[in-house]
Every structure is written in C-alpha cells, then in structure tokens.
Amino acid sequence: MAKQPTVAKDVPLKALVWEDDQGKVWLTYNSSDYLQNYVYSRHGLPSNSDAAKASAAVLADFAQQATQ
C-alpha cells in the first residue's frame, strides 16, 4: 500500500459467509490468482507468482479452518 495507496480499496482481503435459500452456508473470497493478475495490475503493481502460491496456501488454510 505504500507503493500504490489505491490498492487499499481492494486489500486487505475480505471474506463473505452467507446462507442460500436452501440453508446451505457458503464461504466466498477472491483467489490469490485474481488478486495477483487483476487487482494488482489494475493498480499498477507487478504480479508475483511466488507470492500468489503462498497466498493461495494461506487462503486455503483459512477456508479449511473457518468451515470446520
């Protein structure tokens, strides 16, 4: 955010937990690929495949823990 303050409108990451009409509960969040390839580039920041892989692992772990 120090290099490009406008990225603050898209990060830090957010997650949405919601229930559909049938009572099924969902956890939704933007993937690390989306962040790296769309959000960062939209703000003029470079994509980093190593960071995307690390972020994907953290997001998957978060989702796993949040849904148990």
How many CB atoms are closer than 10 A to CB 59? Answer: 17
Contacts of 53 (CB under 8 A, 6+ apart): 32
Q: How many Å apart are CA 55 and CA 68, to the nearest integer?
A: 20
Residue 15 main-chain phi, psi, to 5 deg:
-130, 150
Please give the model's pTM, rounded to 2 decimal places. 0.69
Kindly indicate the confidence band of residue 47, based on its pLDDT and cuts at 50, 70 and 90.
Answer: confident
Q: 3-state class of 29 per DSSP? A: strand
Reply yes or no on whether the pLDDT at 51 is more than 90: no
pLDDT tens per residue across span 9-35: 888 888 899 999 999 999 999 988 888
